[in-house]
């Protein structure tokens, strides 16, 4: 039914000199990010051409990289204008032929990454004091409009052809699944009947009608558009508290060494066991002096542990998701000196008002969210020599289970820090401790107030770990848990984890990954979309889709 | 891949003398509802046997009927004990062989109905002042435990065998999708790692361990169990403000006449056009004097329009869902004298403190939620002679779009009433007007304060209807909208509507129908569950499931 050709391994590292699809220009406090997709430069150029500024994962990897560099390398940028360099076309959305020729798992992970990138723009608006302005100067459809929806404001040229639209349902038999449906009614608060109509139009809406429906914020004739965009961008930039000038810090290559099934970064190591379908993912605490002041963070740049270790972790997670679909369980360890992690936490907390420290905390927050949203089982193993302290203990909290050995001879403790008290909210807006103790909210304050380390027994009693076997039981219990996990249906585990990890309130962000994505994934399985005569497969080819009209 | 045998048409009407699977006994203010499923009395007895108190849709239709009769016929019942008459088995959940031999659409609609029934129990607890106590006297697994989770409290006998568990993931490769995962972490607030472990056990947990994990509220040895259940049931009953004694009102048969593709109740008519794949659903306003006092509501019983019309509507929706999967669009009309509807609204509002009026409003609330959750497109047509006023205008608000003819000669108006101001919250806790005007919240108060009827032009300007074509454009616009809808992918429409209808906050209820159900439906499509070697298909047969271990 679906295409199952294995795509080439995806590399998420890229440098500005390699950009092919986006042009970044910085003028004072305003950056202009213009899309100009090279048709023949898709990740699988033999399978599809990226016409009409449509995108594939490679285009989005560039975008994510640019956004990351804007955060760290360009503190002088206070507002970003998104626009197109192609005449009469802003962006046609995700490339349909790419989707049609991708496996189910690739489609799902492609959508997840693009969703994370767009939510990252909203994260920049909320946390980094950088606002986004979509300057739509052509046809803006589907994923193109979803990109605009992720901006703070949307301006549309009124030239008789430029339009915004979500034609996925009528044209392709799928959803605008990169946040489109959710943002239309939940962010822009478009009335549901107008949203219903809008989402069934193939041609989108233009000019005043787009403003009246709240689909864009304003429209201007061609002669006044550039001026209006520039003016509004300056106004948005003026709201920022980012520094007036740089320097920022440069994000150099991570350059992991890959040897068979082992990937080794400086602080992160991933080691795959294909027979067990596990990945041992180990993150090391700092082993050298770390910055204590904002100036020292600036001087250390991308070599500060807080930056480097979490960039490495982020890269490892993305490679795992896209390139290693059969690896179902991630065994997480943090090793090294926990006091070194707590020292970093203290420095981050002391200087969180500084733009760079704010960005470093943001990098950690987004990387930890990436763990929450990774459809693999995570088991944290807490053993003597562990560095599960403060920020690194968030990895144990993000795990589906944490096992901590209660060793009679060797010390084995964990520690919390002030950074566990809300610096890294999950996508539902709560800290991982708050979600963990929804049923006993007083516990959050109590464990945070705990003086000093927790032994395994104390951690178990406090509810901070799942199990604390002694040294005699440890090997068997952990081994059996990992083996049992590997035997379950991977789909049931994905659904189970997506439900159990996100107790408590829902936000626009969780609605995108829960409600919207789950329905889209369902549709991505249905013959009406991906069958031989499904709408996603027949699009742009001869013949029309043929539907089984049974509703469910 | 999946079984597509068309099941026999389902009839949702049943009377107590027809019950085969449940025994209801009433002792003072406490009702005991005991499950004792007849193995050979499933809806498709040749396909499966209902062993171990497992259930199919027929068992659940009985349960839903009993609950409805408890509400209306037995006001003296203040608490309900759920237990089992079978030795050592409480309930094994939904029958696996039934699921395995059902079409995708049937599985989805079966789960939706069972979810609505269990949420109905929580609705009774919240609104009807009737509490539920699960008295688990045997093995209680999967859907059986999900039934217990819908109760206010769960007591478990500690006899060495009785247990609670959610073995769906390890045994069947699917989710506990009847609210199980959601209620464990969101209602009972079980810690996520304990919930994760619990949801991967095939054997469940017993006794004290079940209490410690918050999976049940208390456990008692066999010798003390009945006494503890009786005592707690009395305590729960004592909290109720339901009347000390009856009489209630008896719910007689609806007895619609069915003639080909037309179903005719007293106030509701459904007429199917198979070529267009539409159902014209018309509800009539009262045409006779309606109760003005609580005593008159009691005297009128099930013949009061408010009771009868909404029971009919509920029945029509359920038949449509299960028996008419290819009918994608519902064209809703309300006809008759709108003043008669407003008079009913005034009486309901004046006497909403009376137990029976409270139940009638609850019936309307739940039926309207059933509309929101029906995976068909709803278009309301508001034409001269319409009765879209007050409560009946909720049907227009629940519709994906409402079209109102702006007729130059014939009067055509709509009206709101006090009943639109929050008496019928959606499952997200907001009124339909609040959800509609999320982007302009002041509008809610303004339209409610509007004096008198809205003309088509006024309704359009106020944002109460989607479109108000004049008499010249009406036919074409409505016809084209209906034809366009019929041409879209039914799956994309289902996903689109499930996202656009529920803007705003999420609740446990919406998480069950959005997040949990959407993931379950996805899994119900996956070869790992429903393929030839999928876990749902191989269960209880020779051979073990064979999984494609790729995670998504």
pLDDT score, position A1: 38
pLDDT averaged over every residue in chain B: 96
- CA-nearest of B429, B193, B435 to A401 is B193
Cα torsion angle, B513, B515, B518, B520, sign? negative
Both structure tokens of B302: 């099930």
Phi, psi of B299 (to 5 degrees): -70, -40
Q: What is the pLDDT of residues B168-223, one digit of tens each?
A: 999 999 999 999 999 999 999 999 999 999 999 999 999 999 999 999 999 999 99
**Is pLDDT of B2 > 70?**
no
pLDDT averaged over every residue in chain A: 96
**Is pLDDT of A5 > 60?**
no
- CA-nearest of A44, A39, A45, A118 to A86 is A39
Cα diameter, chain B: 78
Q: What is the pLDDT of residues A499-541, one digit of tens each?
A: 999 999 999 999 999 999 999 999 999 999 999 999 999 998 8
> Quick check: A109 contacting B, CB < 8 Å?
yes
Dihedral-angle region of residue B142 (phi above 0 means left; psi in -120 to 50 means alpha; beta otherwise) = left
Lowest mean pLDDT among A214-228, B1-15, B45-59: B1-15
Distance CA A245, CA B214 (A): 55
| Contact of B268 with B282, CB cutoff 8 Å | yes
Both structure tokens of B197: 């472990």
Q: What is the CA radius of gyration of chain B?
A: 24
From B501, which residue of chain A is nearest by alpha-carbon distance?
A192
pLDDT score, position B4: 47
A 124-143 near B (Cβ less than 8 A): none
Q: What residues contact B295, with CB distance under 8 A and at least 6 apart?
A: none
pLDDT band at A33 (very low <50, low <70, confident <90, very high): very high
- Averaged over A245-268, what is the pLDDT? 97
The shortest CB-CB distance from B550 to any of A168, A326, A551 is to A326
How much of chain B exceeds pLDDT 70, in percent? Answer: 99
Q: Which residues pair with B186 in a beta bridge?
A: none
The shortest CB-CB distance from A523 to any of B328, B491, B516 is to B491
The shortest CB-CB distance from A500 to any of B104, B181, B495 is to B181
Contact A552 B104 (CB under 8 A): yes
| Contact of A497 with A372, CB cutoff 8 Å | no
Contact A496 B437 (CB under 8 A): no
| Contact of B145 with B165, CB cutoff 8 Å | yes
Give the mutation candidate from B194, B203, B551 for the A interface (greatest A CB count, under 10 A). B551
A 378-397 near B (Cβ less than 8 A): none
| Contact of B490 with A549, CB cutoff 8 Å | yes
- Averaged over B322-336, what is the pLDDT? 98
Distance CA B429, CA A503 (A): 18
The angle, 0 to 180 degrees and rounded to 10, between the axes of the packed helices A104-127 and A57-73 is 20
CA atoms within 13 A on the CB side of B523: 31
Distance CA A372, CA A367 (A): 9
Residues of A within 8 A of B186 (CB-CB) are: 438, 503-504
Helix (H/G/I), strand (E/B), else coil: A539: coil
**Is pLDDT of A481 > 70?**
yes
Q: Please give the helix or strand (H or E) that residue B228 lies within, else none.
A: helix B222-238
Both structure tokens of A141: 């459809």
Residues of B within 8 A of A510 (CB-CB) are: 506
Residues of A within 8 A of B197 (CB-CB) are: 401, 466
Give the mutation candidate from B496, B536, B537 for the A interface (greatest A CB count, under 10 A). B496
B 315-374 near A (Cβ less than 8 A): 325-328
A371/chain B closest Cα distance in angstroms: 14
Distance CA A122, CA A170 (A): 28
pLDDT score, position A329: 98
The shortest CB-CB distance from A495 to any of B196, B491, B519 is to B519
> Quick check: B484 contacting A, CB < 8 Å?
yes
B 390-449 near A (Cβ less than 8 A): 399-402, 435-440
- CA-nearest of B430, B394, B511 to B119 is B511
Both structure tokens of B42: 């499933």
pLDDT band at A552 (very low <50, low <70, confident <90, very high): confident
pTM for this entry: 0.96
pLDDT band at A8 (very low <50, low <70, confident <90, very high): confident
Distance CA B43, CA B7 (A): 9
**Is pLDDT of A3 > 80?**
no
Both structure tokens of B167: 């073995």
Cα torsion angle, B172, B173, B178, B179, sign? positive
| Contact of B132 with B180, CB cutoff 8 Å | no
> Quick check: A539 contacting B, CB < 8 Å?
no
Phi, psi of A463 (to 5 degrees): 85, 15
Distance CA A204, CA A162 (A): 9
Residue in this structure with the two tokens 């003398």, named with its chain if needed = B17
A428: burial class by Cβ within 10 Å (0-12, 13-18, 19+)? buried
pLDDT score, position B6: 58
Distance CA B25, CA A247 (A): 78
Cα A353–Cα A354–Cα A357 angle in degrees, nearest 5: 100
Question: B4: how many CB neighbours lie within 10 A of its CB?
Answer: 12
Give the mutation candidate from B194, B444, B491 for the A interface (greatest A CB count, under 10 A). B491
Q: What is the pLDDT of residues B104-125, one digit of tens each?
A: 999 999 999 999 999 999 999 9
**Is pLDDT of B426 > 70?**
yes
> Quick check: B191 contacting A, CB < 8 Å?
yes
| Contact of B482 with B331, CB cutoff 8 Å | yes
Query: Which residue stretches of A351-470 are H helix?
Result: 355-372, 393-398, 432-436, 442-449, 456-462
**Is pLDDT of B1 > 60?**
no
A 35-94 near B (Cβ less than 8 A): none
- In the sheet with A153-158, reading across from the earlier edge strand, the strands are A22-27, A30-35, A79-84, A131-136, A153-158, A218-221
| Contact of B32 with B49, CB cutoff 8 Å | no
Both structure tokens of A66: 């640019």
- Averaged over A403-425, what is the pLDDT? 97
Contact A535 B489 (CB under 8 A): yes
Residues of A within 8 A of B500 (CB-CB) are: 181, 184-185, 192, 195-196, 199
- CA-nearest of A21, A52, A49 to A37 is A21
Both structure tokens of A249: 């810090």
Distance CA A48, CA A98 (A): 6
**Is pLDDT of B494 > 70?**
yes
Give the mutation candidate from A434, A492, A525 for the B interface (greatest B CB count, under 10 A). A492
Residue in this structure with the two tokens 């208390």, named with its chain if needed = B218
Give the mutation candidate from B374, B376, B504, B522 for the A interface (greatest A CB count, under 10 A). B522
CA atoms within 13 A on the CB side of A142: 25
- Averaged over A158-167, what is the pLDDT? 97
Percent helix / strand / coil, chain B, rounded to 5: 45, 15, 40
- In the sheet with B329-335, reading across from the earlier edge strand, the strands are B257-259, B262-264, B268-273, B278-284, B329-335, B377-382, B401-404
Residues of B within 8 A of A376 (CB-CB) are: 551
- Higher-confidence residue of A499 and A4: namely A499
Q: How far is CA B292 from CA A298, B191, B267, B326, B354, in A?
A: 76, 50, 20, 42, 13
Residue in this structure with the two tokens 């074409």, named with its chain if needed = B476
Contact A506 B505 (CB under 8 A): yes
Helix (H/G/I), strand (E/B), else coil: B534: coil
Helix (H/G/I), strand (E/B), else coil: B380: strand
Q: What is the pLDDT of residues B499-520, one digit of tens each?
A: 999 999 999 999 999 999 999 9
**Is pLDDT of B522 > 90?**
yes
> Quick check: B488 contacting A, CB < 8 Å?
yes
Count of positions (residues) in chain B: 552
Both structure tokens of A85: 């360099």
């Amino acid at each position: 039914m679906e295409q199952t050709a294995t795509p080439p391994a995806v590399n998420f590292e890229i440098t500005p000199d390699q950009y092919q699809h986006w042009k970044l220009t910085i003028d004072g406090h305003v950056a202009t990010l213009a899309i100009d997709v090279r048709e023949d430069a898709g990740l699988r150029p033999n399978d599809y051409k990226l016409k009409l500024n449509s995108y594939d994962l490679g285009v989005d990897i560039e975008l994510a990289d640019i956004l990351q560099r804007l955060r760290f390398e360009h503190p002088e940028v206070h507002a970003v204008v998104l626009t197109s360099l192609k005449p009469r076309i802003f962006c046609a959305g995700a490339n349909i032929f790419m989707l049609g020729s991708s496996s189910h798992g690739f489609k799902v992970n492609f959508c997840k990454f693009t969703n994370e990138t767009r939510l990252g723009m909203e994260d920049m608006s909320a946390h980094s004091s950088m606002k986004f302005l979509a300057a739509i100067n052509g046809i803006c459809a589907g994923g193109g409009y979803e990109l605009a929806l992720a901006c703070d404001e949307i301006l549309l040229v009124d030239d008789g052809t430029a339009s915004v639209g979500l034609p996925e349902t009528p044209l392709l038999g799928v959803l605008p699944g990169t946040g489109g449906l959710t943002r239309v009614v939940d962010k822009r608060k478009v009335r549901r009947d107008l949203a219903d109509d809008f989402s069934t139009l193939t041609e989108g809406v233009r000019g005043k009608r787009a403003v009246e429906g709240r689909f864009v914020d304003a429209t201007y004739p061609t002669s006044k558009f550039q001026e209006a965009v520039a003016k509004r961008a300056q106004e948005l930039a003026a709201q920022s508290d980012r520094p007036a000038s740089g320097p920022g810090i440069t994000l150099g290559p991570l350059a992991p060494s890959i040897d068979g099934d082992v990937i080794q970064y400086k602080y992160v190591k991933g080691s795959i066991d294909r027979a067990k379908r596990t990945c041992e993912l180990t993150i090391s605490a700092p082993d050298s002096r770390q910055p204590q002041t904002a100036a020292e963070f600036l001087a250390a740049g991308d070599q500060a542990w807080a930056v480097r270790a979490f960039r490495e972790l982020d890269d490892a997670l993305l490679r795992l998701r896209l390139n290693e679909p059969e690896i179902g369980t991630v065994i997480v360890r943090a090793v090294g000196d926990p006091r070194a992690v707590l020292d970093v936490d203290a420095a981050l907390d002391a200087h969180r008002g500084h733009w760079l420290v704010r960005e470093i905390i943001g990098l950690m927050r987004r990387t930890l969210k990436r763990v929450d949203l990774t459809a693999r089982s995570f088991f944290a193993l807490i053993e003597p020599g562990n560095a599960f302290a403060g920020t690194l203990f968030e990895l144990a909290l993000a795990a589906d289970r944490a096992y901590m050995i209660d060793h009679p001879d060797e010390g084995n403790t964990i520690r919390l820090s002030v950074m566990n008290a809300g610096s890294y909210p999950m996508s539902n807006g709560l800290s991982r401790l708050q979600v963990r103790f929804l049923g006993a909210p007083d516990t959050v304050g109590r464990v945070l107030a705990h003086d000093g380390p927790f032994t395994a027994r104390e951690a178990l009693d406090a509810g901070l770990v799942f199990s604390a076997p002694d040294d005699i039981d440890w090997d068997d219990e952990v081994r059996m848990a990992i083996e049992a996990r590997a035997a379950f249906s991977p789909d049931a585990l994905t659904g189970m984890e997506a439900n159990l990890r996100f107790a408590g309130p829902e936000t626009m962000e969780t609605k995108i990954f829960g409600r919207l994505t789950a329905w889209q994934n369902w549709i991505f399985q249905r013959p009406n979309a991906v069958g031989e005569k499904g709408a996603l497969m027949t699009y742009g080819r001869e013949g029309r889709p043929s539907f089984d009209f049974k509703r469910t």
